[in-house]
Each structure stands twice: as C-alpha cells, then as structure tokens.
Copies of this chain bind each other. A is one copy, B any other.
Amino acid sequence: MSRILVVGSTALDSVETPSGKADNALGGSAFYFSAAASLLSPVSLVGVIGGDFPDEEIQFLRERGVDMAGLEVVADGKTFRWGGRYHENMNDRDTLFTELNVFEQFKPVIPAEQQDSELLFLANIQPDLQLSVLDQMSGPRLVITDTMNLWIDIALEGLKKVIARTDILIVNDEESRMITGEGNSLRGARALQAMGPKVVIVKKGEHGALMVGGEGELFSVPAYPLEQVVDPTGAGDSFAGGFVGSLARDGAQDWTALRRAMTWGSAMASYCVQGFSVRALRDLDQQKALARYEDFRRLAGIPEPRR
C-alpha cells in the first residue's frame, strides 16, 4: 500500500439538476477525490476552508482515515462556494456564481510528513499552485494530474510545466482537444504524451474513458449505463479518486494495475453521479463498491473467440 497526497479545491456547492437541488453541500475536487479514494486506501488532503465550514460534513472522511492535517482553516474567512445549474442533457451547465473567498489566497503548504508521499494527485487547481506543490515534494513519486478548461484558456504555459512533470495525466476529450488541437482521442493522447506523461487518460463522460500507455498499450473502459444521473458534479474527481486509490492499494503501477485502477475510477464515478454532492460516495462501502467493480467486468467482458 502506497500513501496518497491530494491537493485541490475544497468547497461548498449549490447545484440544481433536473433531478432536484442541493445547497451548500460538500464539493471541490479534493473532497470528491478523497470520498472515492478513501474507500480503497488512506489519503492525506491539503486544501483550505473558512470558519463557516460545517465540520460535520467531513466527519465521514475522517472515519475513513483521511488525514486532514493539511486542511488549513481560515477562521475569519469564508469557504469557496460554487453554484451551478445543469441543463436537461446533464452535459451542459451554467455557473450561477463563484465566490473564491479563502481560496483566492490559497498557498498550499505540504506538511513535512507528507512531502515524501509515493502518490501525488494534483487535483484541478491553478497550475502555479500545482507547481508549488511539486516543488515542496521530496523523493521519487508518481504524479497524477487533473486540470480544467479554465486553466487551458488562461494559464496554458504554467499548465504545460505541470504536464512536463506529470507521470499520468487525466483530461477529458474537450481538454485534450483544447491543449493539442487534435479532435481524435488517440492522436490527442499521443500529443499529450509527447509533452511528458508516460500515461494519458482521456475521459469521455457517459462514453467511458481511454487510457494510452506505451507501445501497444491501449485500454478502454465503458461508463456504467445508468437510467438516471442525479448530479454529474465531481464525476471526474471521483474517477481520479478510484484510479489513484486503486494504484495505492495495489502498490504497483504496471499495466495490469493501471487497468484495474481505470475500472475503480469508473466504478466510483458511476456511484458519484447517482446522488447530489458526495452523498452516494459517502453511503458507499467496500462491499457495494466491489460489487460495482464486478458489474464492470460483466459489462465489458469479451468472450473468447471461436476458432
């Protein structure tokens, strides 16, 4: 078992979808990631919240062994808040408000005992902050990076520096196209590999995800077919949580471990979207999660050919 450090956003979200709404619910890339990863492996989290943060919201993460020594509390500040409304198709959304609050001045400080973590997940935050985290780390480690369209638009040079220091890059198909100019997933992934990462994962939402490794290493995992998506927020972060959590649990990074991790990522994402905020992940246990993993094996299992 390897140790995971995640650095990312920690927020309170207010979300409306065709299925309903949730106000001031747990959100942010690092919380979603931790909710998923902690089902598979211990996690240490670095982020920032305000004095207004309802501590009971993260009690379940503590119970799952998430180390929050690196979660800075600005007593006289307000927690980062985001509000959004999803369209009927669940793929498009409008941002209703963004209040950065304490996140605006966030300077991640990695506790000394986390600086040699074997697995570092750079969740979606400003690329310069991701770089400052990399600079605080010591020893060999596997760096897994996520980002978003905003940073590609306004901080591409910084993002490219992060990508150059990344081992496994997780993007969605639109982000890949924005960075590389390639509409073809495979060519896009190859172009991203040329920027540094040995492995590139292209997420395709309801269409699953593709992982591209070395020569001849291609792996595709479907999304779990769901009759209803309640709230897509955090699906990507939950995917990353399942992915990195599985690598940590395996303590290995070979192609088999990577394919297993992709499946755990998809399983966690499929649970995430079945409830608002982190609720479905909070209610999940190892046994139910394993059952979903086995569902994926049935869903994607190709029989031997007749010869």
Contact = CB atoms under 8 A, between A and B. Distances in A.
A139 interface: no
Nearest to A289: B305
Interface string A203-221: 0101110101000001111
B260 A306 contact: yes
Interface centre among A88, A206, A222, A227 (most CB of B within 10 A): A222
Interface residues of A, number: 46
Nearest to A260: B303
A89 B249 contact: no
Contact of A207 (B208, B263, B296): B208
Interface stretch (A75-83, A114-122, A183-191, A232-240): A183-191
Contacts of A219: 299-300
Nearest to A187: B227
Contacts of A184: 226-229
A67 interface: no
Query: How many copies, total?
Result: 2
Contacts of A298: 218
Interface in A268-307: 290, 293-294, 296-307
Contact of A226 (B88, B186, B301, B305): B186
A65 interface: no
A259 to B, nearest CB: 6
A250 interface: yes
Contacts of A256: 303
A225 interface: yes
Given A204-B207, A305-B260, A222 B225 contact: no
Of listed A206, A260, A263, A302, residue having the most chain B CB within 10 A: A302
Contacts of A290: 305, 307
A203 to B, nearest CB: 12
A307 to B, nearest CB: 7
Contacts of A249: 306
8 cross-chain pairs, A with B, having the tightest CB-CB distances, nearest first = A220-B222, A207-B207, A186-B225, A260-B303, A297-B302, A300-B300, A293-B305, A263-B302
Given A207-B208, A218-B298, A260-B303, 9 more contacts: A208-B222, A219-B299, A220-B225, A220-B300, A249-B306, A263-B305, A290-B305, A300-B301, A300-B302
